[in-house]
With several copies, the nearest count.
Chain A
Amino acid sequence: MKKLINTAESVVDDALNGMAAAHPTLRIRDRVVYRAEGPRRGKVGLVSGGGSGHEPLHAGFVGHGMLDAACPGEVFTSPVPDQIIDATRAVDGGAGVLHIVKNYTGDVLNFEMAAELVEGVDVASVLVDDDVAVQDSLYTAGRRGTGATLFVEKIAGALAEEGAPLARVAAVAGEVDDRSRSFGIALTSCTTPHAGKPTFDLPETDVELGIGIHGEPGRARVPMASARELAGIAMEAVHGDLPLRGDLLVMVNGMGGTPLMELYVVFAEVAAFVRGKGARVARSLVGNYVTSLDMQGFSVSICLLDDPLTRLWDAPVETPGLRWGR
């Protein structure tokens, strides 16, 4: 394993130093990434966070029209309550704070603890659980939060920027999650800096279906196939759970080590699938947005849009990882 790091212990802080140096719109203090301009009076604050290694998620989505603060944990490890408490207090502009939490035991527990301990701030929480590879049953921790986290952060962020009250921002965030589904496929494992070796072994001949974003092995292993077939598997899984119809927001997301050229190849197949179901790609993203370190592979996320959601998606956003309209 070769990585562009100084030490495995310092990688999160070193990367945050790089973010601070690169983005004057951010201010970073005690492992929390804030908008440099601070909270806006009367605006609902948005806080998210999770393990590091998913960049640009979440810290790269701090800025106008999206998050107010992000709490990066160690690599693939949820942040601790202290970070979340600091962030929640700091971004409160008097209108309360929404926690956007991906559904992982660690994220849920640490955000819950923080929400209990923070005082004097009105806190609501939305749980993102879009990954159709996981059954939502008594026998699992529930569906994982993956690519749709970006959709929730963007759309809730736009609504908060407009001055909507906390209950409404939380409700729409939940609605976005309800209308979104994802499925991921890995061609290779990732390697965490601490472990120093691939999390799982995947032979040249196989791929993992239904992976998360932490290098967890997937639900099944099948022989490597063409982009068309792999996109078909992912889209059937999504469509089987939430039938595609009408206007869609479609993201083909790279896991971190996948070249953009290949993601476009996948996107072409995904778009063809969508057309085949009589739905329409109304908005799209292609790139590395919700990653898993150096893993090669992709995930597809879709959201069933309606006019209000489309308007919020299109609203200006200015973050290191997502930017338009200003």
Chain B
Amino acid sequence: MDTDVLVAWFAETARLVHRERERLTDLDAAIGDADHGSNLDRGFSEVARALATSPPDTPAQVLATAGATLIRRVGGASGPLYGSVFRQMGKSLTSPVTLAGFAAAFEEGVVAAERLGKAALGDKTMVDALVPASRALALAVRDGVGVREAFEQAARAAADGAKATIPLQARKGRASYLGERSVGHEDPGAASAALLMAALATVVA
């Protein structure tokens, strides 16, 4: 896995988020404030632009740029949270990049977001998609699965994790204000995390 793959990952994420922008905003309208789609569309399109304008030399730089750009351009809850995932990944990633190295860095990125947001699995946040994705990667590494297969499993785990937020009552973020009324809706941040992992699976496919 090289710099180009990571750049492609963010380009594909930007494309998916742009395409799914309205769905993400609709999910946020139901239990939040109807801006998750435009927040992430703004953020990832900036990331894609930044990566295209001044192409980074190393995988770590790709992640650092993505993290900093999201923090600098998104705002809201998702900006610092996604930003922290990639910023931390960039710090943790060792080179050359192996699947094991990527999985470990991703795990540290997810932990950074968990720490920052103080959210745990089951709180109905992006964590509910990110943690299962991270675990799927760790299992794939343990089982010696190939990159493509590993990322597909991670994407599936994230998607399942996102769907699994539907029956939950939110305990973190804006949706928690709704109390029981948050039950029955998919968390927008979990849904966007699933897109992120889907993009990863696509670019190595």
Q: Which A residues have a C-beta under 8 Å from some C-beta of B?
A: 8, 51, 73-82, 104-106, 109-110, 113, 133-135, 138-141, 144, 192, 194-195, 199-200, 212, 214-219
- List the B side residues contacting A79 at CB < 8 Å: 75
- List the A side residues contacting B173 at CB < 8 Å: 105, 141
Can you list 28 contacts pairing A with B, beta carbon distance less than 8 Å?
Answer: A51-B76, A74-B38, A75-B35, A77-B79, A80-B73, A81-B72, A105-B117, A105-B174, A106-B76, A106-B79, A109-B79, A109-B117, A110-B76, A110-B79, A113-B71, A133-B177, A134-B176, A139-B169, A141-B174, A195-B25, A199-B29, A212-B177, A214-B32, A215-B34, A216-B31, A216-B177, A217-B178, A217-B181
Judge whether B42 is part of the interface by a CB distance below 8 angstroms.
Answer: yes
- List the A side residues contacting B34 at CB < 8 Å: 76, 192, 194-195, 199, 215
Q: Is the CB of B32 within 8 A of A216?
A: yes
Q: Which B residues have a C-beta under 8 Å from some C-beta of A?
A: 25, 29-35, 37-39, 42, 71-81, 116-117, 169, 171-174, 176-179, 181
- List the A side residues contacting B39 at CB < 8 Å: 74, 77
CA distance A227 to B96 in the complex (A): 53
Q: Is the CB of B171 within 8 A of A74?
A: no
Q: Is the CB of B178 within 8 A of A194?
A: no
- List the A side residues contacting B71 at CB < 8 Å: 80-81, 113
- List the B side residues contacting A218 at CB < 8 Å: 178
How far in angstroms is the closest Cβ of chain B from A259?
A: 15
Q: Is the CB of B174 within 8 A of A214?
A: yes
Residue of B nearest to A214 (CB): B33
CA distance A189 to B204 in the complex (A): 43
Q: Is the CB of A82 within 8 A of B33?
A: no
Apart from A140-B171, A214-B33, what are 4 other A-B pairs with CB-CB below 8 Å? Answer: A80-B79, A195-B34, A200-B30, A214-B32
- List the A side residues contacting B25 at CB < 8 Å: 194-195
CA distance A194 to B26 in the complex (A): 11
Q: Is the CB of A141 within 8 A of B176?
A: yes
How far in angstroms is the closest Cβ of chain A from B180?
A: 9
Q: Is the CB of A194 within 8 A of B38?
A: yes
- List the A side residues contacting B30 at CB < 8 Å: 200, 217
Q: Is the CB of B77 within 8 A of A78?
A: yes
Q: Is the CB of B74 within 8 A of A80?
A: yes
CA distance A80 to B33 in the complex (A): 17
How far in angstroms is the closest Cβ of chain A from B113?
A: 10
CA distance A141 to B79 in the complex (A): 17
CA distance A200 to B32 in the complex (A): 10
How far in angstroms is the closest Cβ of chain B from A49?
A: 10
How far in angstroms is the closest Cβ of chain B from A198?
A: 8
With contacts A105-B117, A195-B29 taken as known, whether A74 is within 8 angstroms of B75 at the C-beta atoms is yes
- List the A side residues contacting B31 at CB < 8 Å: 216-217
- List the A side residues contacting B178 at CB < 8 Å: 216-219
Identify B174's interface contact among A138, A195, A200, A216, CB under 8 A. A216
Q: Is the CB of B76 within 8 A of A144?
A: no
How far in angstroms is the closest Cβ of chain A from B69?
A: 10
- List the B side residues contacting A76 at CB < 8 Å: 33-35
- List the A side residues contacting B81 at CB < 8 Å: 109
How far in angstroms is the closest Cβ of chain A from B73?
A: 6
Residue of A nearest to B125 (CB): A105
Q: Is the CB of B77 within 8 A of A106?
A: yes
Residue of A nearest to B81 (CB): A109
- List the A side residues contacting B117 at CB < 8 Å: 105, 109
How far in angstroms is the closest Cβ of chain A from B22?
A: 8
Q: Is the CB of B75 within 8 A of A110?
A: yes
How far in angstroms is the closest Cβ of chain B from A108?
A: 9
How far in angstroms is the closest Cβ of chain A from B119?
A: 9
CA distance A51 to B25 in the complex (A): 16
Q: Is the CB of B76 within 8 A of A73?
A: yes
With contacts A74-B38, A76-B34, A214-B33 taken as known, whether A140 is within 8 angstroms of B176 at the C-beta atoms is yes
- List the A side residues contacting B169 at CB < 8 Å: 139
With contacts A195-B29, A217-B31 taken as known, whether A73 is within 8 angstroms of B75 at the C-beta atoms is yes
Q: Is the CB of B171 within 8 A of A138?
A: yes
CA distance A232 to B176 in the complex (A): 25
- List the A side residues contacting B116 at CB < 8 Å: 109
- List the A side residues contacting B35 at CB < 8 Å: 51, 74-77, 192, 194-195
CA distance A81 to B174 in the complex (A): 20
CA distance A214 to B173 in the complex (A): 13
How far in angstroms is the closest Cβ of chain A from B164?
A: 18
Q: Is the CB of B75 within 8 A of A144?
A: no
With contacts A109-B80, A139-B169, A140-B177 taken as known, whether A78 is within 8 angstroms of B33 at the C-beta atoms is no
With contacts A109-B116, A219-B181 taken as known, whether A78 is within 8 angstroms of B75 at the C-beta atoms is yes
CA distance A144 to B176 in the complex (A): 11
